[in-house]
Chains A and B, each alone.
Chain A
Amino acid sequence: MIQIAVCVCLVPDTASVFGFSGGALDRSRVTEVINPYDEYALEEALQLKERLGSGEVTVFSLAPRSGSKALQKTLAMGADRVVLVEGEGSDPWRTASILSRALTSWYSDSLPGIVLCGRQSTDFGSAEVPGMLAELLGLPSVCGVGLLEGGQDGVFRLEREIEGGREVLEVSVPVVISAEKGLNVPRKTSMRGVMEGRKKPIEIVDGPTLEEARVGLAGLRPVSNKKNCRIASDAGELAGMLHERGLLQ
């Protein structure tokens, strides 16, 4: 039976109000949700389990204890259990180190066949954790995967988008994969799923804090995209404005 690990982080809902005070996000006005990219990763894990007819999907999340409420959704979607690694988010290197330690200790000797992550988070969006995690686990990785097939014989066929084309890859398990938007359409949770999810375990483990962060956040300031717009009266005037700026060459 294949073990499938899915790494999930919590991010502020992009529909919330983003206020900043004292160089940090004002968290009192945001609700935390599962990172949208991680939902693609989880959906793929669930589909893989269905396709193979067996398997165990475990969600790993580095989060404060209070995060278990938002993580409940992963169980309602169909994950078998959640391992909440207690701690605060940090730089990608520390996050990857803590996750890697949590995975190796949870699975003791044998690593899971596939570790699925979202390509990036929607808050800081560094897109670094999956590749770092793979290297720390000693596994190959492919980032930004838009198509995942096979797996029955321990070999996956993947596609990922590159500038002006795509790469078609074949990888054998164990492997770390990060999910691009469009990999699938994450399922909605049903009432029954929510009820069943409540019966499934959320295990809380300590996040070891050995590593120092390798990247520091020196400052954070709100930005505005505001520009002073000149409205043209018709298409000819608009073209003239571009011409004046030397943009028509």
Chain B
Amino acid sequence: MSDNTIGSEGRVHNRLMVLEQREGVLKGASVDLWHRMQMECGGSELRAVLLGPVDGENPLGQLLGSGVIHHAGDERLREYDPRLYGAVIRSLFEGEGCSELLFADTALSRDLAPALSVRLGASLLSGCSALPRDRSCSRRLYSGAAEGNFVAASSRAIFTISPSSIPLELATGTVPEVLPLAIPALRGDDLPSIVRQVVMQVGMVDVAEAAVVVAGGRGMGGAEGFTLLEELAFLLGGTVGASRTAVDEGWRPHGEQIGQTGKLIAPRLYIACGISGAVQHLAGISGAGTVVAINSDPHAPIFEATDFGLVGNVGEVLPDFIAAIRDFLKMQ
């Protein structure tokens, strides 16, 4: 057993983090979390479990830094199955005498962590804005109007961590050791499997994982208005997001909605076009780095939450903005 974590008061917590793959590809959010934990633990050993096979040559090559990855590469874990996933994580967590389990905040961890916390008798802290310190972490509450600081009261704790726009400094030189892991024998009280099939949409990166998000609201005027935003997003290597109004109008799919009832995002650059900046929308962008707004109303509340703004009609100023950005990109 390794003492792989540090509490600032000298308490030692044995941490295990979960690495996720989807369709045989490591999930960006969990790779990001691995590297954030590397930064924090400054060289001491990390321990992670990876569920399911990953395809390609040297598929784990993007995971840098020291530590151990227990890789359960069984084909039966390719698709998310709460029963099998829970069993693998539980047996490793208990076998290694861990006390803290960390996930990236994703659709999978949102589904799995609550059940797992009951099984492990663990405190569950979801949607943490940063890595936990002294078994506590913060999260926005009440549509983003307040921040709560939560503390785990049980000896075991599970944390799911929201994406962050704080830049990563990647450790180079070392790579983790990979150890194969088998699926443990299932217990009688394990729940029946649910038949599940995944339908992926080809296209852009998910808003929650994108480094640049260009979003539109009612001010875009309709679904066609978003063509400009797609062009801008493509240029910046980002993805398109939307306000709830744009989603409710049927202009954009719900998966792109940003905010309290949509996704929490943490890009390094967020550009809001024709979005008023309702508190429920702002609740989703508190993790963003630089915030830019383009809006025809100089009094739109979005400008109060913005670093750089431009007052103007999106139909007129966006083409100029896109052209200007293209010029800067060409210069490099």
> Is residue A200 contacting chain B, with contact meaning CB distance below 8 A?
no
A162: chain B residues within 8 A (beta carbon): 22, 106-108, 198
- A169 pairs with B152, CB closer than 8 A: no
Q: Which residues of A contact B269 (CB under 8 A)?
A: 242, 247
What's the minimum C-beta distance from A201 to chain B, rounded to whole angstroms?
Answer: 31
Q: B231 on the interface (CB 8 Å rule)?
A: no
Query: Which chain B residues border A112 with CB–CB below 8 Å?
Result: none
Q: Is A153's beta carbon under 8 Å from chain B?
A: no
The answer to whether the Cβ of B324 comes within 8 Å of any Cβ in the partner chain is: yes
Which chain B residue has the least Cβ–Cβ distance from A161? B255
Neighbour of B191 across the interface among A20, A139, A213, A240, CB < 8 A: A139
Q: A167: CB under 8 A from chain B? A: yes
A143 CA / B160 CA spacing, docked (Å): 16
Closest partner residue, chain A, to B286 (CB atom): A225
- Complex: A211 Cα to B124 Cα, angstroms: 15
Residue B147 is within 8 A (CB to CB) of chain A in the complex? yes
Stretch of B8-16, B44-52, B61-69, B109-117 with 4 or more beta carbons under 8 angstroms from chain A: B109-117
B182 part of interface (Cβ distance < 8 Å): no
B residues 87-122 near A (Cβ < 8 Å) are 106-108, 110-115, 117-119, 122
A231 touches B149 (CB 8 A): no
- Report B-chain residues with C-beta under 8 Å of the C-beta of A241: 308
Query: Are A215's CB and B140's CB within 8 A?
Result: no
**Which chain B positions have C-beta within 8 A of A249?**
237, 332
CA distance A181 to B159 in the complex (A): 25
Instruction: Look across to chain B and name the residue whose beta carbon is closest to the beta carbon of A130.
Output: B114
Determine the distance from Cα of A167 to Cα of B141 in the docked complex, in whole angstroms.
Answer: 28
A216 CB contacts on chain B under 8 angstroms: 150-151, 153
Dominant SS among interface residues on chain B: mixed
Enumerate chain B residues within 8 angstroms of A215, measured Cβ to Cβ: 123-125, 150-153
Q: When the two chains form their complex, are residues A218 and B149 in contact, meaning their CB atoms are under 8 A apart?
A: yes
Docked CA distance A181–B255 (Å):
11
| B291 to chain A: closest residue by CB | A227
Of B147, B153, B209, which is within 8 A of A212 by CB? B153
Residue A141 at the chain B interface, CB threshold 8 Å: yes
B254 interface residue per 8 A CB criterion = yes
Contact in complex: B153, A232 (CB < 8 Å): no
Specify which chain A residues have a CB less than 8 angstroms from the CB of B118 in the assembled complex: 93, 96, 132, 135-136
Report Cα–Cα, A161/B195, bound state, in Å: 16
B311 at the interface (CB under 8 A from A): yes
* Contact assessment for B107 and A92 in the assembled complex, using a CB-CB cutoff below 8 Å: no
Bound CA span A229–B306, Å:
5
Q: Which of B123, B306, B328 contacts A227 (CB 8 A)?
A: B306
Residue A243 at the chain B interface, CB threshold 8 Å = yes
The distance from the CB of B201 to the nearest CB of chain A, in whole angstroms, is 5
Q: Which residues of A contact B236 (CB under 8 A)?
A: 248
Query: Would you call A220 and B324 a contact (CB within 8 A)?
Result: no
Using an 8 Å CB-CB cutoff, how does the interface string of A123-136 with B read, 1 for contact, 0 for none?
A: 11111111110111
Query: Are A214 and B153 also in contact (CB < 8 A) when A165-B201, A229-B307 are?
Result: yes
Q: B260: which A residues are within 8 A, CB to CB?
A: 14, 122, 125
CB distance A220 to B194 under 8 Å? Answer: no
For A170, the chain B residues whose CB sits under 8 A away are 194-196
Q: How far in angstroms is the closest Cβ of chain B from A95?
A: 12
Asked if A131 contacts B111 (CB within 8 A), the reply is: yes
Any A CB within 8 A of the CB of B179: no
Q: Which of A50-109 contact B (CB under 8 A)?
A: 92-93, 96
**Is A214 touching B124 in the complex (CB atoms < 8 A)?**
yes
In the bound complex, what is the Cα–Cα distance between A228 and B261 (angstroms)?
26
A128 touches B201 (CB 8 A): no
Q: How far is the CA of A68 from the CA of B200 in the complex (A)?
A: 43
User: What's the Cα separation between A131 and B125 when bound, in Å?
Assistant: 14
Sample (26) of A-B pairs whose CB atoms are under 8 Å apart: A14-B143, A126-B126, A130-B114, A140-B191, A142-B111, A162-B198, A165-B200, A165-B201, A167-B80, A168-B198, A172-B192, A215-B125, A216-B150, A219-B148, A220-B148, A221-B146, A227-B304, A229-B307, A230-B308, A231-B311, A234-B317, A235-B318, A235-B324, A239-B321, A248-B328, A248-B329
Given contacts A160-B107, A162-B22, A235-B320, 7 further A-B pairs with CB under 8 A are: A122-B261, A163-B106, A170-B195, A181-B261, A222-B145, A242-B328, A249-B237
